Chains A and B, each alone.
Chain A
Amino acid sequence: MSFVLGTLLCVFLVGRLDARLPWPAPAAKREGGAS
């Protein structure tokens, strides 16, 4: 249970909250956006 719960919370909850921050985009996406 700890594994399933921890994985779901870290991937979905933390990942979702984290996505609201202006982190730099992954390199491949930046290259795509510039072209």
Chain B
Amino acid sequence: MIAGHFGFAAAVKSRVPAAPTWCLMLASVWLDVVFVPLLASGVETMVPFGGGNGKGYGAAIIHADWTHSLVGALVISAVFGIVCAIPWGRVLGAVMGAMVFSHWLLDLPMHHQDMPILPANAGHLPLLGFGLWSLPALAAVLELALVLGGGWLYWRAAVAVASRGGVQQKRANLPAIAFVATGVLTLALNLIGQ
């Protein structure tokens, strides 16, 4: 899941308008941002699931044993939140930390059973993940619902703040349209394995 995380970030923006949108968006995928260099260096890996080449939507077992372990995600979220609290205060720091951890919570129903509890899968405890990616059409519809729902909540909040501030509604429409277009494009690319 990628686009769905952005959808949730847009929904949070509508509830916490003082939270910088760019940072909410970044926070929503921060676990994956940290995952990328670990994947490139071989510390975390992906292997094909279900006999394919592992390139399709949800078609891989993701051994993100550090970044997507429950405890690892909590630590990364806490660090992100603390860094954000320095310029923006405790409340927004907590919001940003929670935003980062929401990634793990939203990944939980989607992932195949590949999310450890402890970093590096220490202790070989049971792996988590409810496997909705095994039903890609349903998973994609849910992700699209997050994008559209988040976009709609964001647009409503943006129109309200533009109206209060005496700003043209066009300025509220533009980021909402850009967000939904980006979310749909991201989901479409993800679906075709790009």
Binding site for B on A (CB under 8 A): 1-3, 5-7, 9-29, 31
Q: Is the interface of A mostly helix, strand, loop or mixed?
A: helix
The residues of B that contact A9 with a CB separation of less than 8 Å are 178, 182, 185-186
Please state if A7 and B18 are interface contacts (CB–CB under 8 Å).
Answer: no
Please state if B18 and A5 are interface contacts (CB–CB under 8 Å).
Answer: no
Please state if A3 and B17 are interface contacts (CB–CB under 8 Å).
Answer: no
Please state if A27 and B18 are interface contacts (CB–CB under 8 Å).
Answer: yes
B48 proximal to A (CB < 8 A): no
B172 proximal to A (CB < 8 A): yes
Given A17-B174, A21-B172, A28-B89, A7:B164 Cβ within 8 A: no
Please state if B22 and A11 are interface contacts (CB–CB under 8 Å).
Answer: yes
A29 to chain B, nearest CB (A): 7
Given A1-B189, A6-B182, A24:B17 Cβ within 8 A: yes
A33 to chain B, nearest CB (A): 13
Given A2-B2, A17-B178, A24-B17, A7:B29 Cβ within 8 A: yes
B6 proximal to A (CB < 8 A): yes
Top 4 A-B pairs, shortest CB-CB distance: A15-B22, A22-B165, A6-B186, A2-B189
